[in-house]
Chains A and B, each alone.
Chain A
């Protein structure tokens, strides 16, 4: 390669990371701009505009407990109780330690219950594994697993090269970290499994659940805003949902907010 060609390659190699970093910064700026716009609109009482700005971020794939919390507030103030419950549920799932999200979720559920309350007869609690998997937020779970997992391998390496007198203690440490890595890995795996068969929240005030994936089917039963349902199957625009007592039916996918 000529000197000129080598120089061009060097410039290109320097430019590519620069462009990527600039694009990343621009993206973050746009994100923050929409976030601030939403907050401003909310604080001025324009809840529809606030919800639109937050939805814009959500459509960009931003995953943030704060975003869903604020979106829930905006929906609630707009009078859209079902979507508010969905957003608060999302915020609480992302950060189970967020007291505000749990409080507002309770308030939204109270408001929804004033209009209609679904009492599911014979409803079972969520299975233990689901409760265990959702006890921590996904971020916390990820970092916990990565830390324990890498520490486990680091300790193995240390033990391989350690003096003979240190090896028993290090072996015990490897066993403990191995068990912890296995447990946190199982929880993370459970989380990914749960995301494949997620829960959803009924968005409209009242929703007819059909016997089949078409409007012409008989209405099997009716549910109301805020009810948590399990999403079992998808058929184009229709979702098969299951209630806590095992009752199933089909609804329009747009009527359910995925958790």
Chain B
């Protein structure tokens, strides 16, 4: 190890030893304990949980109270501190002893099962963490009934007085400090929302009450916002207040202040689904004042309340159990007559009576009654109006026998979950026998096979239910929907108009190209003339004079025919000349053209030697080319095929 490192290591070791020797002195001498003020606690009865820290000189810091899960913290006070100083005779030393106390007033919600354990509190003294002992709370019989208005049986202030004997002091040699208030001084009015339990099964009743605490009875009270109970089935518990007015009971003391307490309203809430459900705050206003003074308005708001809804246990749950059937129920079935004639009606009444969400409970379905016709049932619910919801749900079926004989309505079975016993229960009605007189009898057993008599058939009345699944071998999809969502649909929509447009445009273009215009006729004349003149040239070169002149004659006539748009076959030379003049061919050109055609005509039938003169042939070829050029360029008048 290097010298510097060794020095640092020694320094650290020294610091550690010093810390161990000096700093924890207070901590080592400290005691940190927790206790409650009684052996057993009843539900709804307030009790005191106290944490005490005794230590030497120094400071306590980072105090953390225990987890009060399962308890309601009504009040909290502390820390209160007391310090004592002792002088040691014969020396110049003094000893300082400090004591801190934290006090909580707790209540066990009604229905709590014990025992419960309050965990450890934590504090830091002299750099050391101290923890209290955990306290086991035994849940015993209630020590007294709640007072009118639902107030606690024991005045919590008396309990605090017992723990903080204010005026008496703390005895000789002790310096007392007044307890410091953690909570603010008591308000002149507040609303307290009290559930009978904070954990319940789905469908189990939770009774929640809203109480108004006022130091002085208000002149006016008005509710501005109702608490919302989403996630619960809610039943209003009928108010006992006279004509809906507030009824104040005996005054109660809270944190040293006397309050008039009135019940605002109570609700029976049934969680509909598992999970943490919340009841939103209720808001209200009160106005207080005397005749001479101004009216003071106080706005009051409760804290939101959380209720934890537990799912119904799966263990022991009957198949197809209806989660609406939570409570303790009995079932009975009765008919208004045990003997009936064919065609008359019998009323079957099924009553489910008990405690729970009676309005929601699902009575069993009507069993299959062979040979009977049933009608839509009538349902009625009657609640008893008690704080714990009890009542009867009645379902009445009108049944009409269609055959004689004896029918047995089997026992109706109601499965329910009893949240108090935490188990599923089965209630059964008594079977009922009905004798139907009229036709020849047959013994009919509900749900079983009929035994027809006399060869006549019986009607099989089947209770209403949903229709069965479509159990086809393979799953056919909606091809139309798939096609609608595919690109193929877009192609199908776009292609026909596009194709039609292309076809129409193409046809028009073809028609346009095929039309007989000036230009096309000129083009045709040129093409034809070139071909004929080449042929004439070939005839001239071969010395075939007759063919040569025939070709020149044809080329001139066809060129004129194309340009004029009419056949020239039967025309005489004078008629041809007249036509050309009429169409606007200059006179000189007309004479020249007609003359050339005449010359060709003559030469074709002239003696061979005379006609075969090469110079004359060449001259005629040149003349024909010049004339055709003239015919092409000539601006002829109205054309027959224009």
Seen from chain A, the residues whose Cβ lies within 8 Å of a Cβ on chain B are 28, 31-32, 35-36, 39, 42-43, 45, 57, 62-67, 69-70, 73-74, 76-77, 79, 94, 100, 103-104, 107-108, 114-115, 137-143, 146, 149-150, 152-153, 156-157, 160, 188, 204-206, 208, 218-219, 222
Contacts and interface: CB of A to CB of B under 8 A. Distances in A.
Nearest to A139: B480
Report, nearest first, the 4 A-B pairs whose CB atoms are least far apart.
A139-B480, A153-B496, A208-B230, A142-B480
Nearest to A205: B272
A129 B442 CA distance: 57
A76 B466 contact: yes
B496 A108 contact: no
A115 B203 CA distance: 13
A139 B478 contact: yes
A69 B478 CA distance: 13
Contacts of B145: none
A57 B475 CA distance: 10
Contacts of B481: 63, 94, 138-139, 142
A42 B230 CA distance: 33
Given A77-B466, A141-B480, A219-B280, 6 more contacts: A43-B471, A69-B469, A150-B492, A157-B503, A160-B503, A219-B228
B231 to A, nearest CB: 7
Contact of A142 (B379, B467, B483): B483
Nearest to B497: A153
A136 to B, nearest CB: 10
18 contacts: A28-B474, A32-B474, A35-B474, A63-B482, A69-B470, A74-B469, A77-B320, A79-B320, A94-B481, A103-B466, A104-B466, A107-B464, A108-B466, A115-B360, A137-B478, A153-B499, A160-B504, A218-B228
B469 A42 contact: yes
Contacts of A140: 480
Contact of B466 (A36, A64, A107, A156): A107
Interface in B277-292: 280
Contacts of A36: 473
Interface residues of B, number: 46
Contact of A64 (B468, B475, B503): B475
A73 B469 contact: yes
Contacts of A146: 483, 489, 492
Interface in B425-484: 464-484
B18 interface: no
A66 B484 contact: no
Given A67-B475, A222-B230, A153 B467 contact: no
Contact of A66 (B322, B379, B470, B493): B470
A74 B496 CA distance: 45
Contacts of A156: 500
A100 B467 contact: yes
B78 interface: no
Nearest to A62: B477
Interface in B303-337: 319-320, 322-324
Contacts of B474: 28, 32, 35
B620 interface: no
B469 A70 contact: yes
B466 A149 contact: no
A31 B469 contact: no
Contacts of B475: 31-32, 35, 57, 62, 64, 66-67
B215 interface: no
Contacts of B319: 45
A79 B228 contact: no
B230 A79 contact: no
Nearest to A204: B273
Interface in B486-506: 489, 492-493, 496-497, 499-500, 503-504
Contact of B468 (A31, A73, A107, A204): A73
A250 to B, nearest CB: 13
B95 to A, nearest CB: 56
A222 B470 CA distance: 35
B227 to A, nearest CB: 11
Given A66-B470, A206-B272, A157 B500 contact: yes
A204 B323 CA distance: 14
Nearest to A146: B492
Contact of B476 (A64, A104, A114, A150): A64
B481 to A, nearest CB: 5
A63 B477 contact: yes
A206 B231 contact: yes
A143 B230 CA distance: 46
Contacts of B465: 107
